[in-house]
């Protein structure tokens, strides 16, 4: 039998809502208001480095409608959109619907036409245009900042341009030309990329089928050659160039190619991972002279040691002067161990380098090689800046999209090195967008001048104003 209803005489039956935010009324009739104001920096950096001009020249031969958009400007706007965080061509609307801030921006249909016209010959011209603009950007950087950025390992400078090559999987969720099953049992593409560790720039990339091999010699050579072509001559022929890869880049043909570049006046060196085969295991067992390894800050790392294996490992086919160095460490929970690691109770990693004996201690060389891991972060950020998804079923269009995504990475890097300081100069794209690129402002016109007024209390308002001031002071190329 159910109990009769009893009225509640104690406790709180109703809770009065405490409003902690002010009441607002939202309307869509605002005028003179703009968003993504900081992304104007990206567009202006493209102009200041001559990238927009160079792209215009590279695409001048393409058919253009009377009174239509400049094709080079369309390509740059697509790169700005990707750097701003856009993921699809439709995201051009963010720029297009703010003509007071970004000027005339092409329609989606025009952008598709431009992308579909970028065949392999045109892409080669765009790569040349990128190299010309990069030379200007680096000249601006050394003139305004006093020096070119250096890569660092274990708290020490690496006196070289450091080129990091690595491949990644880009999953496709629909049928696309040349998208195939991958070795990770996914479906999509398997691009190979090269980043400059000194600045974070994306020098080159090759879009490949998902089933493309990780250690394909021809692909590594193609990506490296395109990357080296991006280096201005004073750097290409005047500085050491260190090429770093994981064990996928340890093929003898690729190492021979790196060494052969010396015949063309370049000082090239390599630091590549080496697979642990049975002869390498035997060399590790007999190795003597282990010394403490160092961490990224240059301090001794507890439980880690390094040792040189040169002379113990068969070096048939390797370029003369190749050295082999091994690192062993107590495995952390969850570490991927081989049977050999399990038996020995330590995790082992081996790499090969042709840096001569006077080029640093084996501890420094090992820390320098481990710094190759930074490329993983660059790829992760690059996927958030355009090449994490591809827009078309056509492989040629997706190739063009990859190149523009690399341009987007460059625009962010140039903006940070040329215009920003402190935390923002090192921030990942996501943080940079949240704090700087996506800021809103009011646009006013007085005395024939357009003013962009950022909220005075915005925490990074001064950073944005200073960045635009530095932009205005940059030396410009003369055409």
Please report the pLDDT score of residue 13 as a whole number: 56
Give the per-residue pLDDT at 303: 87
The chain-wide mean pLDDT, for the chain, equals 92
DSSP secondary structure, 349-399, as one string: EEEEE---GGG--HHHHHHHHHGGGHHHHHHHHHIIIIITS---SSHHHHH
pLDDT, position 3:
55
pLDDT in the model for residue 330: 85
- What pLDDT is attached to residue 343? 63
Please list, residue by residue across 173-208, b when 16 or more beta carbons sit within 10 angstroms of its beta carbon and e when fewer do: eeebebbeebeeeebbbbbbbbbbbbbbbbbbbbbb
pLDDT at 267 over 80: yes
67 pLDDT band, cuts 50/70/90, is low
Q: Which residue has the higher pLDDT, 5 or 350?
A: 350
Q: Tell me, what's the pLDDT at 62?
A: 72
pLDDT score of 64 more than 90: no
Q: Rounded mean pLDDT of 37-55? A: 97
Residue range 209-230: mean pLDDT, rounded: 96
Give the model's pLDDT for residue 5: 56
Q: pLDDT tens digits for 426-471?
A: 999 999 999 999 999 999 988 788 899 999 999 999 999 999 999 9
Question: Is the predicted pLDDT of residue 11 greater than 60, yes or no?
Answer: no
Q: What is the pLDDT of residues 305-326, one digit of tens each?
A: 999 999 999 888 999 999 999 9
pTM score of the predicted model: 0.92
Residues of the chain above pLDDT 90, percent? 82
Q: Can you give the pLDDT at residue 389?
A: 95
- Phi and psi torsions of 156, nearest 5°: -120, 150
Beta bridge partners of 181: 187
Residue 66: predicted pLDDT: 58
Least confident of 24-28, 134-138, 302-306, 316-320: 24-28
Residue 345 or residue 354, greater confidence: 354
pLDDT in tens, 107-118: 999 999 999 999
pLDDT of res. 65 = 59
What tokens does 185 get? 């049992």
pLDDT band at 280 (very low <50, low <70, confident <90, very high): very high
Query: DSSP 3-state helix, strand, coil percentages of the chain (rounded to 5)?
Result: 45, 20, 40
Question: Given a cut of 60, is residue 6 above it in pLDDT?
Answer: no
| pLDDT tens figures, 236-263 | 999 999 999 999 999 999 999 999 999 9
Given a cut of 70, whether residue 402 has pLDDT beyond it is yes
pLDDT of 216 > 90? The answer is yes
* Secondary structure E strands in 354-476: 441-446, 449-454
């Amino acid at each position: 039998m159910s109990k009769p209803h009893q009225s509640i005489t104690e406790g709180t039956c109703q809770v009065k809502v405490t409003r902690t935010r002010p009441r607002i009324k939202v309307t869509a009739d605002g005028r003179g208001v703009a968003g993504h104001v900081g992304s104007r920096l990206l567009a202006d950096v493209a102009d200041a480095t001559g990238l927009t001009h160079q792209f215009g020249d590279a695409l001048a031969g393409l058919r253009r409608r009377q009174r239509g958009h400049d094709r080079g400007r369309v390509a740059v706007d697509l790169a700005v959109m990707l750097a701003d965080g856009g993921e699809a061509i439709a995201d051009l609307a963010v720029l297009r619907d703010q003509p007071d801030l970004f000027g005339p921006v092409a329609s989606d249909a025009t952008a598709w036409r431009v992308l579909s016209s970028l065949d392999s010959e045109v892409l080669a011209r765009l790569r040349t245009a990128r190299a010309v603009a990069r030379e200007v950007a680096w000249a601006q950087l050394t003139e305004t900042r006093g020096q070119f950025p250096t890569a660092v390992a274990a708290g020490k400078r690496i006196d070289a341009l450091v080129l990091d090559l690595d491949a990644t999987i880009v999953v496709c969720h629909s049928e696309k030309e040349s998208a195939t099953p991958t070795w990770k049992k996914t479906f999509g593409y398997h691009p190979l990329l090269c980043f400059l560790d000194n600045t974070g720039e994306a020098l080159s990339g090759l879009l490949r089928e998902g089933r493309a091999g990780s250690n394909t010699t021809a692909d590594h050579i193609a990506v490296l050659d395109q990357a080296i072509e991006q280096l201005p001559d004073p750097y290409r022929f005047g500085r050491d160039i260190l090429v770093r890869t994981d064990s996928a880049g340890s093929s003898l043909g690729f190492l021979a190619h790196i060494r052969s570049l010396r015949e063309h006046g370049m000082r090239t060196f390599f630091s590549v991972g080496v697979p642990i085969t049975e002869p390498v295991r035997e060399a590790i067992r007999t190795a003597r002279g282990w010394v403490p390894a160092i961490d990224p800050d240059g301090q001794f790392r507890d439980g880690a040691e390094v040792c040189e294996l040169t002379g113990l490992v068969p070096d048939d086919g390797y370029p003369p002067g190749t050295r082999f160095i091994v690192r062993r460490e107590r495995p952390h929970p969850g570490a991927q161990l081989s049977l050999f690691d399990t038996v020995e109770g330590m995790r082992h990693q081996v790499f090969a380098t042709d840096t001569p004996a006077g080029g640093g201690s084996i501890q420094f060389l090992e820390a320098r090689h481990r710094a190759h891991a930074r490329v993983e972060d660059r790829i992760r950020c690059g996927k958030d800046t355009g090449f994490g998804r591809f827009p078309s079923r056509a492989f040629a269009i997706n190739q063009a999209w990859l190149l523009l995504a690399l341009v987007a990475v460059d625009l962010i890097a140039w903006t940070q090195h040329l215009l920003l300081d402190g935390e923002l100069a090192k921030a990942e794209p996501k943080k940079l967008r949240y704090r700087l690129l996506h800021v809103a402002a009011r646009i006013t016109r007085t005395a024939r001048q357009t003013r962009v007024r950022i909220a005075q209390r915005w925490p990074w308002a001064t950073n944005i104003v200073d960045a635009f001031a530095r932009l205005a002071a940059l030396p410009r190329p003369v055409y």
